[in-house]
Amino acid sequence: MSSTIVLCIISLVCSTFGAELKEVFSWKQLEYNWPSSEFKEEALKTDAYIPQNNLAHGISIWKDKLFVTVPRYKPGVASSLNYIKLGSEKSAKLTPYPSWDFNFIKEETNNSLKDDSSVVSAFRSWVDGCDRLWVMDTGVANITGARKAIAKPSLVIFDLKTDKLVRRYFLKDTDIKKSSYLINIVVDVNPDMCDNAFAYMPDLGSFALIVYSFADDSSWRLKHHYFYFDPLAGQYNIGGVEFQWTDGIFGIGLSKANSDGIKRVFFHAMSSTKEFEVPNNILQNETWATNTQNFNDFKFVGERGENSQASISIFDENTGVLFYTQVKKNGVACWNSKMSLKPEHTALIAHNAETLEFPNDLKIVDNTLWILSNKLPKYIYKSLDSNDVNFRIFSVPIENAIKETVCA
């Protein structure tokens, strides 16, 4: 029996290159720290909480808090923005952030936000180097059904030291289209210049990128051919579910700044196998970013290879490695940006059809790669089996993840 097969049997995750992931948390169904048993019973009775409709989707980490987003894809999501304490039991209950009061939204009775600290539907979040939590709130409940717009799409920013709202910014009407779908956010900031922060929000539905300037408290929308999906890369079969997606620009990875202070902003569409880049100073200049003459500032980086469709990506500044999900391969892959991008310069660092059925989010904290996997296609098109483990969060040291691969 080969060493690789043995590793697959004894490890939590089978990996071609031996990167063993540590399963930190796992759930069959999500449960919450309710204010009282009566509160929960009432939520169940009124369908404000339908356990099987709560899907762990995104993660962020700050000190001992691990944030977990639960989008309101379907009715009965109790709280969209939550956290658990690192070191908690494996199936820890979620605690709404900043409180129950600002997360518990009864869709059938509320048509507006209770407060600017309220979070309607968050897919992903981002912790910046200034101890702030940035949340992209779509403002829409029951996304896969009879959609209900409770609020306009907005950025919600919290001070993690005080758990207080820093700012809520509602996107401009010119930023969004009827087909807009905003489910990712990446923040570009120097911790020594916290007010000079920029948020990049890919709009995979209308193939655009929205940029927000914290200093100017303003936003603008960019269009480019590279934001579109590849019509030959939109067919999926994951977990036995066959479907077609036309998702455009999705994943964004920020490189380390060069000597001029400029970063490479890597990006790709979900339904694509190609990677592109643009200097961050191009995106941050509203006048030039929205000028069609900037077309050639966007560059084709390379091809990841067949069946390499990726959602989220994350860049490790210490190694120069870009990590990205591999949804059709039930895994996570890497590419060292010091090399040209082509299939032989990429490596699948972890893959498993069961535990990584749909890798959905990645974060890097303290030289450790964190991975959230779920069963999103089954959740959307069929239903989750409450007897199965449906959500997992893993961690692996970066050094171990790329050891003995081309990425090292």
Fold agreement between 1-30+224-408 and 35-191+209-223: yes
Residue 8 has pLDDT above 60, yes or no: no
Averaged over 217-229, what is the pLDDT?
97
* DSSP assigned state of 375: -
Cα(372)–Cα(101) distance, rounded to whole angstroms?
A: 27
Q: Do the Cβ atoms of 301 and 341 come closer than 8 Å? A: yes
Is the pTM above the cut of 0.85?
yes
Give the whole-angstrom CA distance, residue 403 versus residue 408: 6
Q: 35-191+209-223, what's its fold?
A: Neuraminidase (2.120.10)
Query: Mean of the pLDDT values across residues 231-246?
Result: 97
Alpha helix stretches (DSSP H) within 67-132: none
Q: Which residues, 6 or more positions from 178, have their beta carbon under 8 angstroms from its beta carbon? A: 206
- In the chain, what's the furthest Cα-to-Cα distance? 61
Cis bond before residue 279 (omega within 30° of 0): no
CA gap 119, 142 in Å, rounded: 14
Inter-residue contact 263 to 253 (CB < 8 Å): no
Give the tokens for residue 147. Answer: 């959609």
- Token reading at 290: 């929205």
Tell me the residue type at 203: D
Domain chopping of the chain, boundaries = 1-30+224-408, 35-191+209-223
- In CATH terms, the fold of domain 1-30+224-408 is Neuraminidase (2.120.10)
Report pLDDT digits (tens) over 53-65.
999 999 999 999 9
Bridge partner residues of 202 (DSSP): 209
pLDDT score, position 366 = 96
pLDDT > 70? residue 348: yes
Cα separations in angstroms, 27 against 93, 194, 316: 9, 36, 28
Helix (H, G, I), strand (E, B), or coil: what is residue 264? Answer: strand
